[in-house]
Amino acid sequence: MKVAPDSRDAVVIVELVGGTKGPVTLDEDRNIVLLIKNKDTQSIKVTVNNEDNSSTKTYKLTGLTLEGK
């Protein structure tokens, strides 16, 4: 990503693509918990907006190992 995600002025939005909640704007601690139900169909999209710059990156979850309940 071109935009520095650790900038104090940056707005970070995280979305679990294929999830049910939609995009979430992170607060200053920048922590998020995501419920992954299907690593093969879901992905995580991160958008960082800093002044006039914006960058989006999507992360696949295919290598993730999910544990049963």
Q: Give the C-alpha separation, 15 to 18, whole Å.
A: 9
Q: What is the pLDDT of residues 2-58, one digit of tens each?
A: 445 456 678 999 999 999 999 999 998 889 999 999 999 999 999 999 888 999 999
Q: What's the pTM value of the predicted model, to 2 decimals?
A: 0.80
Q: Strands of 53-60's sheet, edge to edge?
A: 24-25, 11-17, 43-50, 53-60
| Per-residue model confidence (pLDDT) at position 3 | 45
Q: How far apart are CA 49 and CA 12, in angstroms?
A: 6
